Amino acid sequence: MAEKTLNVFEIVQGQIKEACDILGMEPAVYEILKQPQRFMEVAIPVNMDDGSVKVFPGFRSQHNDAIGPTKGGLRFHPDVYADEVKALSMWMTFKCACIGLPYGGGKGAIKVDPRQLSKGELERLSRGWIREMAQIIGPEKDIPAPDVYTNAQIMAWMVDEFAKIRQYNAFGLMTGKPIIIGGSLGRNTATARGCVFTIREAAKKLGIDLSKATVAIQGYGNAGSFAAELISAYGSKVVAVNDTKGGAYNPDGIDPVAIAKYKEKTRSVVGFPGTKNITSDELLTLDVDILIPAAFENQITSANAARVKAKIIGEAANGPTTPEADAVLYKNGLLVLPDILASAGGVTVSYYEWVQNNYGYYWSEEEVNSRLEASMVKAFEAIYDMHKQKNVPMRQAAYMVAIKRVYEAMKVRGWLD
């Protein structure tokens, strides 16, 4: 039977429903959690360099603020759509709850290909999004951060525009900022570092020696490239990486730093000396110990799941595995470290950045990394215990841990009375 095509919004709704049912939650819990509390869509006019005006659709989804202000990235992408933004905000709620952060989930986007814009056009677009969203975001309401095709410079423009509107600096508005205006040390590597910490803990449980492990990484952007460096530091051998243009494979190992420099020059990992070209499907199904999907949603599907051989799959990307594929991986005995756990390092250090902004004292990179390690290990243990106790996949266990925490906040606040 062919896999049903689901958009990511339907996928996350199914994940929530499944966890609520296993936990025996009252129906109202799912009814509250199955959709965002708020969703805003705006039209952003931008004066282009050629004198024309273009209007770009912008979005912000705020899923649930029972535990605290909503938190989540802001992506610029030509193919982004409303349901994707909603789903990503929902994943963020559970990602924050998994780690125990005092946040709910948010997500934002602008439908644009930023690579087609000049620096001036990009700045005007970024400031335009803030002007349209200023009423619903803020350090105590909703805190955006970089995501796909956004970066620290874009966050800086947005913080500045917000300051003009409010007439005071509010550096806690955004995380992932430049260090000079309140950014946190350690933020750039946090998603990858958190993912590698969870892989390390999973390897201990399965008796895998990381110093002898082989690794394939799908997606060689920020998270993928840093994950390659960090896991190599444990002695693991990265044998395959890819990007949107193709992949590179060498069974004897690839130098993560050298191929990152090569990609910076050529804009792709394809053709890196000493490697052979490899497709994304071939990479996902290599006979390796560890697979790190660090690209986009819906990469491991019913079409390739049965051929995935990695013993541990550490999801550095959001939603890389479909529900049908999840069932196959679990049946085949593969340990999936779900995105809401494995990719939570970024939002964890974003929380640290927000905390530092709020009290005006900044930590060393060593302190940030140490706190991150403690948070990720604690979260992994709680979810692994639930996985073993209830005999459910790690993803279900993660949702169960997270939903219990959100439920407790909603209950004590009187949302369910």
* Catalytic position from the list 86, 107, 111, 177: 107
107 a catalytic residue: yes
Q: Give the up-direction half-sphere exposure of residue 369: CA atoms within 13 A in the CB hemisphere.
A: 12
**Domain spans, the chain:** 34-171, 190-337
Q: What are the residues whose beta carbons fall under 8 Å from the beta carbon of 276, sequence distance 6 or more?
A: 248, 249, 250
Could you tell me the pTM of the whole model?
Answer: 0.92
Per-residue model confidence as pLDDT tens for the chain (417 residues)? 345 445 789 989 998 999 999 999 999 999 999 999 999 999 999 999 999 999 999 999 999 999 999 999 999 999 999 999 999 999 999 999 999 999 999 999 999 999 999 999 999 999 999 999 999 999 999 999 998 899 999 999 999 999 999 999 999 999 999 999 999 999 999 999 999 999 999 999 999 999 999 999 999 998 999 999 999 999 999 999 999 999 999 999 999 999 999 999 999 999 999 999 999 999 999 999 999 999 988 899 999 999 999 999 999 998 899 989 999 999 999 999 999 999 999 999 999 999 999 999 999 999 999 999 999 999 999 999 999 999 999 999 999 999 999 999 999 999 997
The Cα–Cα gap between 290 and 287 comes to 9
Residue from 64, 138, 79 nearest 114 by CA:
79
CATH of domain 34-171: 3.40.50.10860
Q: How far apart are CA 26 and CA 32, in angstroms?
A: 11
Kindly report the CATH class assigned to 190-337.
Answer: alpha beta
Task: Please tell me the distance from the alpha carbon of residue 76 to that of residue 104, in angstroms, as a whole number.
Answer: 22
34-171 and 190-337 have identical folds: yes
CA–CA gap between residue 351 and residue 237 (Å, rounded)? 32
